[in-house]
Each structure stands twice: as C-alpha cells, then as structure tokens.
Structure 1
Amino acid sequence: MRGAMVTNKENNTTTAIHADYVLIADGANSRFGRSMGTSREKAWPYGTAIRTYWQSPRHQEPWIESALDVKDRNGNSMPGYGWIFPVGDGTINIGVGLLSTFKNFKDVNTTHLLDSYAHMVADKWEIDPTKPECKATSGKIPMGGSVGPKIGPTHIVIGDAAGSVNPFNGEGIDYAYETAHMAADVLHDALVSGDAMALKRYEQLIDDEYGQYFKVARLFARVIGQPVLMRELSRVGIHSRTLMEWVLRIMANLLRPDEIGPAEAAYKAAAKIVKLFPNA
C-alpha cells in the first residue's frame, strides 16, 4: 500500500494521497483494513455496544462509572457491562456493551437494554431517561486482538481496527494510544533504516504486551456468558469492597508486576489456567 484515494463528499472531488507507509486506524468497522485483507477470528468473543448522551448536572464528575449488574426490562442479568462517561459539556455518555458469549446474544434488543440501564441510573445521575440528546449509535466491537493480520508490506493496523479492545470491560481508547505508540516506534525504524522488514517487530510488541492478558480476558468473557454465574459473581462481589478493588485492577489492566498483591496473584492463577486452553 502506498497511500489512498480520498473523495470529498461535498464537491465529489477525488485526491490521491501518497505515503511510504500507512497506518490503518479507521475503527472497529475497518473498511480500509478489510480491503487489505484483515478479518476477525470468528471463534473468539466479540461485543456489541450502544450509547448516547443525556443532559446531567453531574456532567463534570471526575470519574467514569462502570457497572457489571446490567439487567434487561424483566430484571434478568445480562452478560455485559454499562458505563457512564461525564463529558463536561452539560452531558454524560451512557452506554451498554453486550458479549457474544451469551447464548441468546442475537435476540437481545440493545436499544431496550440501554433504555433499561438509563432508567436504572436515572436518579443517581439526575437524568430524564426518556429524553436522550440524540439517537443512539451502535456497532459490533472486535475484542482481544481478534483482527489480523496486523501488518502488511507497507502498512500497520492499530486500535479498534486491529481488535485491540479489552474483553474485560470494552475499553479501547488507551489501547488505541498504546498500539499507535508501538506502530510509531517501528515506523521510525523502518524510515531510518529504509527497510520495511522493521514493521514485523510490531506484531511481536503486541503479543508481548497484550497476548497473555487478552487470552485471560477472552476466557473470562466465555465464563460470564452464563447469566446465572454472572448474577452470583455480581451479588457476591458488590458486597465486598476489597474483592471489587481486586477485580477492577484486573479488568482495567492496572496490575503491578513489581508488587505482587491479591489481584496479581489471582491473575497469575488465571493465566496458568489459560495455558491449558491454547486456542482460547
């Protein structure tokens, strides 16, 4: 790949952009990536997410809120998570993500699920759940590094386009930054040396940084696909601040390799179990 043809939709003019190397970073539904041969590993879990915005007086809160106890309109626990992201402009971003490991995944109406979650948090966040600011947007989210190949002769795939999303919590922003940093590093080497083979190091960097963690997270996604188990885990965990702190550190990838505490010990145990499942 040596660039792209870009069309201006306003005046229908087309411009050729040439480059020695191309970074593909066009999101989870990466048309650019697919045109270059990327595909998702079908056997691995993926998510679907939906979100929109509501007016809230708490729009400047410094914390993002995550929820594991998302329920449908009938009060049934669902294998996914909810989030509330204060935007600071008078609104908050509220959304839900659902995992493909739930056996009735495709039957779930995510619009109804978002509506249920908005009603759940309405009093706490002082919103009118019946009056979102705009129509909700939704889409499929490849997770756990499930998209590949991540490099070609002159291109690198990063962020959501590479499936670099945490299956534990649907987080992708920090992985987009981190994979971009890795890509910039190998691109620098390629440009300085004049050797495109330097791009091959990118896949090794990705595997070293996320390989084992994403594998544990993918197994976790399969486990919580059982609604009964998810309900019990949520019931027990929510009543234990210490346990939830451990879980948060694992799910948010905030482990401290130089300080072995309960969260690190639990993760190491999970990593040993994962080694028994080479295709997880």
Structure 2
Amino acid sequence: MTPAPDESADVIVVGAGPGGSATAAYLAMSGLDVLLLEKTHFPREKVCGDGLTPRAVRELITLGVPTPEADGWIKNKGLRIIGGGMRLQLDWPDVASFPPYGLVRTRQDFDDILAKHAVKHGARLREGMNVSAPVKDDATGAIVGVEAKEMGADNRPTGKVLTFRAPLVIAADGNSSRLSLSMGRDKRDDRPMGVAVRAYYTSPRHDDDYLESWLELWSTDKNGKRVLLPGYGWIFGVGDGTSNVGLGILNTSSAFGKTDYKDVMRRWVATMPEEWTYNEETITGPIRGAALPMGFNRQPHYADGLLLVGDAGGMVNPFNGEGIAYAMESGRLAAEVIAQAFGRADDAGRERVLQSYPQVMKDALGGYFTIGRYFAQLIGHPEIMRFAVRYGLPRKTMMQLLLKIMANLGDEHGGKLDDRVMSMLSRVVPAA
C-alpha cells in the first residue's frame, strides 16, 4: 500500500547541485510544477576545483544567471600549464560557440545561487529532505515518487519521514546516487573514475587571471631525493583572499586506490614557494576529497520513470575531470525532452519521448566521452605522460589545440579546420 503523499508535482528533482537546479529552472520556465529536494541546507560546501571553463560559462549565460564581477564572480583568461620544467600560458580559444573567458566561484556560493535561480523561475525548493527510498508502482515497478527523511538545520534527522509523488523523478544526487542504486542502476566498471582532493589557503595568489594546471607533482623523500608523485594538480585563485589548491588521480593509474591522496597533497604543497603561503598555518579547513564519475559510468540515463543528470549519470569529462558544465548541459537537454514529453496527450506518448533521452545524451556527448576514455587510459601510463610533457609542452600551437580538445571548446558552427575535425570525430566515434 503506497502511503499518501505529503506533496506531489509533475516532476521531482532529487539534488540541488548544478545539474538538479539547472534542470528544475528550465522545467519551471516551461510551465511544469517542479519539486526540488535537497538533503542539506544552503549554503553548503561541495568538494570541487571551483574553476568554470567557457563551456560552463555558456551554460550560465543560457540559463540566465548573471555573473558580474561586483557580485564575486572572478573572470579568468585561460589556463597556465606547468610541467617538464616549463610554464606555458594559454588563453581560452575565441570561438563563436563559447565565451572567451572562464570564471571561478566556490561551490558553497555557486550551488546556492543556482538553487535560488530555480526558485525564482517557479521551482519549489525543499531543503533538508534526505531522499532515502523510491516509491514504486506495485504493478510496473516504475518509480512514482520518493520517501525522504527530514533533516534539521543541524543536518540531523528530525525523525519525520515524508512522501513525495510525481510521474517523473530525476536523480541529480551526485556520484553515489543512492536513488539510482535503489532502482538497480549500478556503476559501469569499464568507465574511468577519478578521485580529487582540495583545500583552501589564504594567499596573495587569490586573484590570479589564469587557472593553473600542474602536469607533474614533485616532492622529496626522507633522503632529500626528488620524487614524482602520482596525479595532477591545480591552483585556482578564488578572489576572496584564498586559493583553491587540489589534485586528482585517475583509476587508470597504478597508484589509484593505493595512495594517501591527502598526504600527496601535503607533500606537493610543501615544495611550493614560501611567498605563495600554502602551508599548515594558512589552510582554512581540512583537505576534502570526492569521486569523479566519468564517461557515462551509470546507464541507462532513463528507464522506469527515473532520469539521470550530472554526476548521477557519470557526466564528467574524462579529459579534464570537469563536471559542472556537463551537469548543467545535461539538465538543459533533459528539460527539453521532458517538456516535450509532458506536451503529449497520454502516458504512452510521454513515455515514448522520455525514452529518447539516452540517445539525446549520446548524440551530444557520447562520441567525445569515448575519445576521452581512450585518453584517460593512455595518460594512466607514467611513461606516456612523461613523453607527452617533454615533447608536447614546448610546442605552443599543439598545446593550444590540446586545450581546445580537453576543455571541449571546438567551434560548433564550423570554425577552423581543427574545429571541424573535432566535430567529425565526436560524431563518428561510437558512443557507448
């Protein structure tokens, strides 16, 4: 016997991260009744590099989110790459499809801004709703709602359990996606997975005009010998007196799962110039970590009334670990499909449209993510990475092309020869 609902809606979105809030905003704009459930209370912190590439900025512009510098949005001009004893500064490509700048904004602020934007356009946000189980139709097994434990302002359970019902539920609940797991959608083992850790340090480098990527992480052992640590690193100036410093590692590396990543972070940071002030005295909080689910590592993206967006569907770029752009992009594409589905006169017609969503995502990103998986496998071999750093970095033209490929910033409207090649490869490479 299904319990009576405490609330109902056309669509329930579980998780108010970038993907969930973008989806909810677009759906509300299309006139649907949207219930957005977030397990914690805003503002809340998420582990992230805080750097937004032009692809993510395009999604903000499309969604209608203002990003003035006066409100704390920090613009950047491009990417500075450090490795092989070299320091190479590359501007973001200036193409018709994307703005020629990136942004930095902490996730503590960013997610709150997007959730409020969704509410502004009509979504109903319920904070402190920790979704614990799906509500299923007894006859079909399809999801028709969710149960949620109410969380107090201290993020502890109040003891109250609520039921929410809708003909469509969207899982935007991140990498672990308990809702997807409860509906039998496990992660795929044939997809790359990353782990990232980061911390904030007070530093004079807080207003850097470039995002910074370190292709090699060097430290010293107890005998003072220089040693290469596993993974790659980043430094992003946050503009508030702090820098976001972090590192990531892929499961294609032999060191994955066998390394204390927080210790690697401490050892790497200890080698940096004193004037940058990245040390135990200036760290503003603990080193935190999170998983990065890449290359569509959970599928199908729609089945049995449950649709996946963002990290829940493994929509993280295998080339560079970027997730925010693809979370928002998947939310936009999902909303287009859903709006069309709800325009159908009967349940069968609506279901037929919803079942097109997995192919929509594969058409948009599947081929590119397949190429990214091959790339992730290659750079998991240290000798290949060393070769690439040694012979690639001195060639600026080659690195500018690689930046365009890794950040997925090819001009979608024709552009130069390299843009057309990128577009062709993404179309002809099979999406899986």
Q: What does residue 259 of structure 1 align with?
A: 415
CA contact (8 A) 2:217 2:268 kept: yes
Instruction: Give the deviation of 1:66 after TM superposition.
Output: 2.2
What is the TM-score when the length of structure 2 is the normalising length? 0.58
Q: Distance in 1 between matches of 2:272 and 2:310?
A: 30
Q: Distance in 2 between matches of 1:263 and 1:247?
A: 12
Structure 2 gaps, min length 5: 1-142, 153-157, 221-225
Instruction: Give the deviation of 1:271 after TM superposition.
Output: 6.6
Choose the corresponding residue for 1:60, options 207, 214, 224. Answer: 207
Q: What does residue 382 of structure 2 align with?
A: 227
Alignment CA distance shift 1:72-1:105 (3 Å): farther
Q: Distance in 2 between matches of 1:261 and 1:127?
A: 44
1:46 aligns with 2:197: no
Instruction: Give the deviation of 1:177 after TM superposition.
Output: 0.3
Answer with 41-50 or 207-216: which moved more. 41-50
Alignment CA distance shift 1:158-1:241 (3 Å): same
Q: What does residue 294 of structure 2 align with?
A: 143
SS of equivalent to 2:204: coil
Higher Rg of the two aligned structures: 2
Question: 1 or 2, which has the higher strand percentage?
Answer: 2
1:7 aligns with 2:157: no
**Letter aligned with residue 75 of structure 1:** V
1:129 aligns with 2:285: no
Instruction: Give the deviation of 1:160 after TM superposition.
Output: 0.7
Q: Distance in 2 between matches of 1:145 and 1:123?
A: 41
Q: Distance in 2 between matches of 1:268 and 1:120?
A: 41
Alignment CA distance shift 1:271-1:116 (3 Å): farther
Instruction: Give the deviation of 1:262 after TM superposition.
Output: 4.4
CA contact (8 A) 2:362 2:431 kept: no
Answer with 256-265 or 228-237: which moved more. 256-265
Q: What does residue 227 of structure 2 align with?
A: 75
Q: What does residue 210 of structure 1 align with?
A: 365
CA contact (8 A) 2:229 2:264 kept: no
Q: Distance in 2 between matches of 1:158 and 1:72?
A: 38
SS of equivalent to 1:12: strand
Choose the corresponding residue for 1:113, options 242, 247, 264. Answer: 264
CA contact (8 A) 2:214 2:233 kept: yes
Instruction: Give the deviation of 1:40 after TM superposition.
Output: 1.6
How many residues align? The count is: 274
**Letter aligned with residue 147 of structure 2:** M
Instruction: Give the deviation of 1:130 after TM superposition.
Output: 2.3
Q: Distance in 2 between matches of 1:94 and 1:66?
A: 10
Instruction: Give the deviation of 1:186 after TM superposition.
Output: 1.1
SS of equivalent to 1:41: coil
User: Counterparts in 2 of 1:158-173, with a 5 A limit?
Assistant: 158-173=309-324
Instruction: Give the deviation of 1:165 after TM superposition.
Output: 0.3
SS of equivalent to 2:196: strand
Instruction: Give the deviation of 1:120 after TM superposition.
Output: 4.8
Alignment CA distance shift 1:120-1:221 (3 Å): farther
SS of equivalent to 2:210: coil
Q: Distance in 2 between matches of 1:222 and 1:149?
A: 23
**Letter aligned with residue 214 of structure 1:** F
Answer with 26-35 or 51-60: which moved more. 51-60
Q: What does residue 336 of structure 2 align with?
A: 185
Q: What does residue 247 of structure 1 align with?
A: 402
1:34 aligns with 2:186: no
Q: Distance in 2 between matches of 1:117 and 1:271?
A: 36
Instruction: Give the deviation of 1:56 after TM superposition.
Output: 2.0
Answer with 64-73 or 105-114: which moved more. 64-73
What is the TM-score when the length of structure 1 is the normalising length? 0.87
CA contact (8 A) 1:39 1:149 kept: no
| Cα-Cα RMSD | 2.5
Instruction: Give the deviation of 1:20 after TM superposition.
Output: 2.3
Answer with 164-173 or 196-205: which moved more. 196-205
Q: Distance in 2 between matches of 1:129 and 1:261?
A: 46
Instruction: Give the deviation of 1:127 after TM superposition.
Output: 2.6
Alignment CA distance shift 1:219-1:71 (3 Å): farther
Structure 1 gaps, min length 5: none
SS of equivalent to 2:385: helix
Instruction: Give the deviation of 1:94 after TM superposition.
Output: 1.6
Deviation track 1:183-242 (CA, whole Å, cap 9, x = no partner) reads 111111121214222111211111111111111110011111110110121122222222
Q: Distance in 1 between matches of 2:363 and 2:278?
A: 45
Q: What does residue 103 of structure 1 align with?
A: 254
